[in-house]
Amino acid sequence: MKIIADTNTFLAVTLHEPERDKIIRLTLGHDLIAPDILPFEIGNALSAMLKRRRLEPEDLLSVWDATQQIPVDLRNVNIRDALKVASQFNIYAYDAYFLVCAISLRCPLITLDRRMIEVAQSLGVQIMEVI
């Protein structure tokens, strides 16, 4: 099965967050897919964590490298469609990219973002329950 994986799931796994084991169990043996903005979003999240002192400077590159070891198929998404979703639900375009990816590929979404789960359900996107 193909699964659309949100940025926060990659970070939860590599940072050994409490949801890590469940994410691994749910995705083991499946193909992960994400919009092609994923590496940029991971980089931004890591720099934000560094800025907020949730990540030490000496750990920054090793966490980045760990995220890059997770096999994922990066896909282009229709930005116009994503902007429609972002506007309709008052969410960031970055979140809408993952939702549009799930809609266009008819794949379930795995995320730790409660608002994204709500929007996905409104759009008829299947959610893989982690939280």
Tokens linked to 121: 């359900």
Q: Are the beta carbons of 123 and 99 closer than 8 angstroms?
A: yes
Task: Quote the pLDDT of residue 28.
Answer: 95
Q: 14 CB contacts (<8 Å, ≥6 apart)?
A: 63, 66, 67, 70
Which residue ranges in the chain fall short of pLDDT 50? Answer: none
Distance CA 77, CA 18 (A): 30
Task: Quote the pLDDT of residue 129.
Answer: 85
Domain map of the chain by residue range?
A: 2-122
Count of residues in the chain: 131
Task: Quote the pLDDT of residue 12.
Answer: 97
Tokens linked to 87: 């506007």
3-state DSSP assignment of residue 113: coil
Looking at domain 2-122, its CATH architecture is 3-Layer(aba) Sandwich (3.40)
Task: Quote the pLDDT of residue 84.
Answer: 98
Distance CA 130, CA 117 (A): 11
Tokens linked to 53: 């002192």
Q: Any idea which residue has 């991971």 for tokens?
A: 42
What are the tens digits of pLDDT across the range 25-35? 999 999 999 99
Tell me the pTM: 0.94
Q: 111 CB contacts (<8 Å, ≥6 apart)?
A: 5, 6, 8, 9, 98, 117, 120, 127, 130
